[in-house]
Amino acid sequence: SVANFDSICYDILNKGGKKMLPIERLQKIQVILEEREVVSIPELEKLLDASKATVYRDIKTLQKEGKLQFVRGGISKAPYDRRVELPYHVKRSSNVEEKKRIAREAAENIHPNSTIWMDSSTTVYEMAKYLRPDMNLKVLTNDLMIGAELAVLPGVEAHVIGGMIRKGYFTLVGLFALSNLKGVQIDTAFFGSDALSIKGGCMLLNSDEIAL
């Protein structure tokens, strides 16, 4: 179509340099919406360095997936559906400063020479940055990303429990993970949850992680 042709020409000629792939633009739009309530179309054109036609095409893609909605002045996140888990990259990129503050406070409450559990949470992931070498910790986790961070930390003996990998989430779950966790004595556990309530306590959307 003419609109698509104009978009392609814009991407090739405007400002030069490497352009984001469509999947990268879709991910960036979702990250932006996590940080801001409403974003205008002109703002998105600048932030994505893309034409209006390209931006509208990306918006329509995300709208069909129920991830955003048109509002007066631009776009906003779709009304939150408590039944749907956010993609990992969106979780990882949202509320970063708050997660760092929580992670730093949590790390300060770890006793040296102890065995701790770090679950598959993007907030718990941030804790790895605050584990000191002199703490001499043994750490168990069911998260591949956390395991990779722990692998290069001095003074930390890291154990990844194994299991089936949740697609797109780097989380190890299932019977193998459960059996590996049995019989392990843990001093302190750190975990995140998708929701909290007085009646329901800590709640997760994925049943496999609930079992762990």
pLDDT of residue 8: 47
pLDDT of 81 higher than 60: no
For residue 54, how many other CB atoms are within 10 A of its CB? 24
Residues 111-157: tens digit of each pLDDT: 999 999 999 999 999 999 999 999 999 999 999 999 999 999 999 99
pLDDT in tens, 188-209: 999 988 888 898 888 888 888 8
Q: How far is CA 13 from CA 6, 16, 18, 59, 113, in A?
A: 10, 6, 11, 22, 58
Task: Return d(Cα 171, Cα 109) in angstroms, integer.
Answer: 25
> What φ, ψ does residue 38 adopt, rounded to 5°?
-135, 140
User: What's the whole-number mean pLDDT along residues 62-79?
Assistant: 82
